[in-house]
Amino acid sequence: VVADAEWAREIRRLADERDAVLLAHNYQLPEIQDVADHTGDSLALSRIAAASTASTIVFCGVHFMAETAKILGPGKTVLIPDERAGCSLADSITAEQLREWKAGFDDPVVVSYVNTTAEVKAETDICCTSSNAVDVVRSVPADRDVLFCPDQFLGAHVQRETGRENLHVWAGECHVHAGINGPELAERAAANPDADLFIHPECGCATSALYLAGEGTVPEDRVKILSTGQMLDAARETGASSVLVATEVGMLHQLRTAAPEIDFRAVNDRASCRYMKMITPAALLRCLSEGADEVHVPLDVAERAKASVERMIAIGT
């Protein structure tokens, strides 16, 4: 299947026929982003899914994102072009592990990243995304223990921002972001002394970026720890002519579209998520033609998970 104009017309025709809205995460292939009704970060897409009046949501992203849309709209048909599109971060904690962890504390508040299974969300008090994790943790009364899972690097970022000592962080990670490492970042920053650094908080190199700022290698105001949606806002506002980007490489397409005059370069150009890239033009065509793969979340799990996801979409900008 070639993602040409004819393919795009057919995708749009089939979407109309199904009364479907097409959502694409910022890490999707460029042709998938361009054919979608909305492209955005996890938080923006959850909000759009919750507000949509379409009877079908086609989620071009990974499985937990489609599950989140189903939790928010149990009466809607939610489709994902390839149900094998998982997430190594979501796989780093199970509901059973979370229950055991909780049992070691006296009435803790569980804050889970949206990159988790529906079963983990059902054991969670408030979900968050990288856009609002700091605001979500700040919303928890200071005297309550917070259990933050599953991403250790986002947890470390929240800990730095809130200075909270009763924040306990699970040791999970995303294989793509953890692989963008400090030495690589330092080398790129030294070779591009005028560049801004846009760093996703899931990255293993976020601490190194702050270290580079601390020792004066990179001016402090050039180091920005941002979710994918926040990167787009920052791209429109920065005066820099070049930016080094530490996140999944799909993000470069949106950034280059938003600010064509800026030279965006990946810190690690091998940082590609194989799960995100399972959503191919052929898979999207099949999805809309056959109405597959449909995402189901058991009703009792969805009901328990719903409150935590609704709190997430209500907090932060």
Contact 61, 24 (CB under 8 A): yes
- Which of ligand SF4, ligand 13P, none has residue 227 at its interface (CB below 5 to 8 Å by kind)? ligand 13P
Q: Which range, of 40-48, 69-77, 186-194, 280-288, touches ligand 13P by CB under 6 A?
A: 40-48
Q: Does 92 bind ligand SF4 (CB under 6 A)?
A: no
3 Cβ contact partners less than 8 Å away, ≥ 6 residues apart: 29, 31, 35, 281
Q: Does 24 bind ligand SF4 (CB under 6 A)?
A: no
Among 33, 39, 42, 112, binds ligand 13P (CB under 6 A): 42
Q: Between residues 276 and 301, which has the closer beta carbon with respect to ligand 13P?
A: 276
Q: Which two tokens stand for residue 36?
A: 């979608």
Q: Does 276 bind ligand SF4 (CB under 6 A)?
A: yes
Residues numbered 125 to 144 that lie near ligand 13P (CB under 6 A) are: 129-131
Residue 167 sits at φ, ψ, to 5 deg, of -100, 120
User: Whole-angstrom Cα distance, residue 209 to residue 193?
Assistant: 13
DSSP state of 18: T
Name the nearest CA neighbour of 65 among 47, 82, 48, 46: 46
Q: Between residues 41 and 145, which has the closer beta carbon with respect to ligand 13P?
A: 41
Q: Is 314 helix (H, G, I), strand (E, B) or coil?
A: helix
Q: Which two tokens stand for residue 309?
A: 């996801």
Residues numbered 226 to 255 that lie near ligand 13P (CB under 6 A) are: 227-228
Report, in Å, the least distance between residue 215 CB and ligand 13P: 27
CA end-to-end span of the chain: 38
Report, in Å, the least distance between residue 136 CB and ligand SF4: 18
Q: Does 41 bind ligand 13P (CB under 6 A)?
A: yes
DSSP state of 36: S
Q: Which two tokens stand for residue 302?
A: 């969805």
- Which of ligand SF4, ligand 13P, none has residue 46 at its interface (CB below 5 to 8 Å by kind)? none
User: Looking at this protein, which amino acid is placed at residue 134?
Assistant: V
Report, in Å, the least distance between residue 189 CB and ligand SF4: 22
Q: Which two tokens stand for residue 263?
A: 């030279």
Report, in Å, the least distance between residue 296 CB and ligand SF4: 20
- Which of ligand 13P, ligand SF4, none has residue 92 at its interface (CB below 5 to 8 Å by kind)? none
Number of residues that bind ligand SF4 (CB under 6 A): 12
User: Whole-angstrom Cα distance, residue 135 to residue 113?
Assistant: 13
Q: Between residues 14 and 149, which has the closer beta carbon with respect to ligand 13P?
A: 149
Q: Does 67 bind ligand 13P (CB under 6 A)?
A: no
Report, in Å, the least distance between residue 185 CB and ligand SF4: 17
> What's the maximum distance between 2 C-alpha atoms anywhere in the chain?
59
Alpha helices in the chain (DSSP H): 5-17, 30-35, 42-51, 63-72, 95-103, 118-122, 133-138, 152-162, 175-178, 182-191, 206-214, 228-237, 251-258, 281-290, 299-314
Report, in Å, the least distance between residue 79 CB and ligand 13P: 18
Q: Does 208 bind ligand 13P (CB under 6 A)?
A: no
Binding site for ligand SF4 (CB under 6 A): 62, 87-89, 115, 174, 176-177, 248, 273, 275-276
Binding site for ligand 13P (CB under 6 A): 26, 41-43, 115, 129-131, 174, 202, 227-228
